[in-house]
Amino acid sequence: MRLTNRYKVVSDKKMTFAEKLYLPAIATGLGITIRHFFKQKVTISYPEVKREYAPVFRGRHVLKRDENGAERCTACGLCALACPAEAITMLAAERKRGEEQLYREEKYAEKYEINMLRCIFCGLCEEACPKEAIFLTDTHVTAEFHRDDFIYGKKQLVEPVDNRIDVSKRGKPSGRL
Amino acid sequence: MPKVIIDGFEIEVPAGTTILNAARQIGGDLVPPAMCYYSKLKDSGGKCRTCLVKVTKGSNTDPRPMPKLVASCRTVVADGMEVANITSPEVLDARKGVVEFLLINHPLDCPVCDQAGECDLQDLAFEHGSPKTRYEFERRTFEPIDIGDKIKLHMNRCIMCFRCVFLADQLTPERLHGIMNRGDHAEISTYIEKAVDNDFSGNMIDVCPVGALTDRTFRFTSRVWFTNPVLAHRQCNTCCGKTILWMKGDEVLRVSARTTFYGEVEEFICNTCRFEKKNAADWIMEGPADISRHSVIAQNHSHTMQVLKNGVPQYDDSQKPTPKVKSEIE
């Protein structure tokens, strides 16, 4: 069975004198190298120049707050259900009287953990979320020294009240009504 | 015995059987959904109107069709009766309207509600409802009430099926709750938040088709699809002691009565079994409970895993009647 038409039959026939000189081959090779001097560079000098991310880039997660600063997440578990890597776990708790400013719904996530080593950044949690609480941002999950540190809790995930993370560019995931 | 034809399928049933029960004997897609009818509770039904069907031929003696759609849970079959359920566009349209009415005051708080995943109204709306609401006005709202220390009443979610009232009437010697007010103002109430503390009061959680009555001992501990339903029993002096344990690891999060294919309790269980026995050691485990493969609860694969452990991969659908595909009937 032949897999491609671009095959070549290899032979070990004796080289001619011109071929033995290697000079024409060297000239052809140099020609290819020199041509690349005049082509546009494909690399950039990274820390000084940064490439723009595509709007659909999926980096580390953020748990959004609503306009009053209350947490949107209600621990419904749909993100954990949708997660193909089973990276998300959560524990729900009931909101007490007087905590209305902290949590938007009657129920909230007391614990919310994402194992970033398991996460494959597919964005299905974002798509499943009925409360528009979880979004994938354009920041990266940074390197750590210990595996335990990759389990992000609410401390890392919930956006700070005074430093909101803009996810407006990401828009609504497709398929939502 | 009268013969009745439902969506082209003929069945002979004892006189006095309702259309709904005759359809359930045939099984499959042609069974009308029911939110208020409960075969274990006498006089239930006729409230929610989701089981509306069209009677195209009254009977052999009087072949005229019935002038309006009828509630199949309350209409008794007659010999030669012909009924159209899913073959009638009129019925499907009416059902869609009924779902819209049921959802008028029902909040969209499924992410918060403990019933989500095993809620009859959720299934009904998914199958028969429209994806958007047209209702623009304020929904009626109530504060959640604790009736006793074990049961939570969310009146917002109630669809006025009266099942819990019938249960209290028929299962317990004295009734402690009922419906107050009328029309749009109707609400389930215990009259000045009196506690319902009967031995069998917990069953109102199981008969409630929505999340209006929920288990306070299970409140917000886990979503149902993260728990593993396990059949178990124990020696109980007050009830049969046969239950389903909803487990997470070795923890028993919730105990509920076993249900039939149509979501009706097989045998009512007492409050001691339901609320007090939350230790795995209290129970004798029988094995994983059967969950329909189409249910979200089957997502945790506990049933499959258990079965695979025993070496025989199989799905036990014996309880389920053979499904009739819609196209087959048309």
> Which value does ipTM take for this structure?
0.78
| Chain B contact present for A73, CB below 8 A | no
Can you tell me which residue has the tokens 């390197």?
A: A143
Confidence at A176, pLDDT banded by 50, 70, 90: very low
**Total count of domains within chain A:** 1
Min Cα separation A155/chain B (Å): 22
Residue A137 lies in a domain: yes
Is residue B288 within 8 Å of residue B63, measured between CB atoms?
no
pLDDT of residue B145: 85
- Average pLDDT (A64-80) is 93
Residue A24 lies in a domain: no
Two structure tokens written together for B158:
């109630």
Element (DSSP H or E) covering residue B326: helix B326-329
pLDDT of residue B306: 61
Query: What strands, in cross-sheet order, belong to the sheet with A88-94?
Result: A88-94, A107-115, A151-152
Minimal Cβ distance to A177: which of B132, B222, B296: B132
Q: What is the percentage of chain B residues whose pLDDT exceeds 70?
A: 88
Q: pLDDT (tens digit, 9 = 90+) per residue, B150-200? A: 889 898 999 988 888 888 878 777 766 777 777 777 777 765 556 667 788
Min Cα separation A91/chain B (Å): 7
Smallest CA-to-CA distance from A63 within A150, A152, A134 is with: A134
Q: Which residues pair with B147 in a beta bridge?
A: B151
Judged by DSSP in three states, B64 sits in coil
| Chain B contact present for A94, CB below 8 A | yes
| Chain B contact present for A120, CB below 8 A | no
Dihedral pair phi/psi, residue B11, rounded to 5°: -145, 145
Q: pLDDT (tens digit, 9 = 90+) per residue, A101-137? A: 999 988 999 999 999 999 999 999 999 999 889 999 9
Residue A78 lies in a domain: yes
Element (DSSP H or E) covering residue B12: strand B9-12
Lowest mean pLDDT among A27-36, A89-98, A140-149, B143-152: B143-152
C-alpha separations of B56 from B18, B51, B64, B73, B236 in Å: 16, 16, 7, 17, 50
pLDDT of residue B287: 84
Two structure tokens written together for B209:
């088709």
- Average pLDDT (A144-172) is 89
Min Cα separation A131/chain B (Å): 8
Return the CATH number at A106. 3.30.70.3270
Taking the C-alpha atoms of residue B87 and residue B51, their distance in angstroms, rounded to an integer, is: 14
Residue A84 lies in a domain: yes
Minimal Cβ distance to A81: which of B112, B219, B225: B225
Is residue A62 within 8 Å of residue A134, measured between CB atoms?
yes
Check CB contact under 8 Å for B111 and A80: no
Confidence at A177, pLDDT banded by 50, 70, 90: very low
pLDDT of residue B64: 93
Residue A133 lies in a domain: yes
Can you tell me which residue has the tokens 């396990």?
A: B230
Is residue B65 within 8 Å of residue B83, measured between CB atoms?
no
Check CB contact under 8 Å for B111 and A131: yes
pLDDT of residue B205: 92
Residue A143 lies in a domain: yes
Taking the C-alpha atoms of residue B262 and residue B282, their distance in angstroms, rounded to an integer, is: 29
Full-model pTM: 0.81
Sign of CA dihedral B239, B242, B244, B245: positive
Check CB contact under 8 Å for B111 and A78: yes
Residue A138 lies in a domain: yes
Length in residues, chain B: 330
Taking the C-alpha atoms of residue B88 and residue B68, their distance in angstroms, rounded to an integer, is: 13
Query: Among B112, B154, B155, which would you mutate to test the A interface (most chain A Cβ atoms within 10 Å of its Cβ)?
Result: B112
| Residue A60, C-beta contacts closer than 8 angstroms, at least 6 positions apart | A116, A136, A137, A139, A140, A141, A152
Give A106's contacts in chain B (Cβ within 8 Å).
109, 112, 144
Confidence at A55, pLDDT banded by 50, 70, 90: confident
Element (DSSP H or E) covering residue A63: strand A61-63
- Judge whether residue A51 has pLDDT over 80: yes
Length in residues, chain A: 177
Min Cα separation B224/chain A (Å): 10
Q: Are strands B81-84 and B3-6 parallel, antiparallel or unpaired?
A: parallel
Intervals of chain B under pLDDT 70: 175-176, 190-196, 301-330
Check CB contact under 8 Å for A76 and B112: yes
CA angle (B183, B74, B30) in 5-degree steps: 110
Give B222's contacts in chain A (Cβ within 8 Å).
92
Taking the C-alpha atoms of residue B100 and residue B84, their distance in angstroms, rounded to an integer, is: 22
Two structure tokens written together for A68:
């009053």
Residue A69 lies in a domain: yes
Query: What strands, in cross-sheet order, belong to the sheet with B228-233?
Result: B251-257, B242-248, B228-233, B284-288
Residues spanned by the domain of A108: 61-170
Tally DSSP H helices, then E strands, for chain B: 8, 14
Taking the C-alpha atoms of residue B10 and residue B82, their distance in angstroms, rounded to an integer, is: 9
Domains belonging to chain B, first-starting first, are 3-101 (3.10.20.740), 120-132+140-215 (3.30.70.20), 224-309 (no CATH)
Minimal Cβ distance to B112: which of A80, A106, A177: A106
Dihedral pair phi/psi, residue A93, rounded to 5°: -145, 160
Two structure tokens written together for B91:
């019925």
Query: Among B214, B220, B295, B299, which would you mutate to test the A interface (most chain A Cβ atoms within 10 Å of its Cβ)?
Result: B220
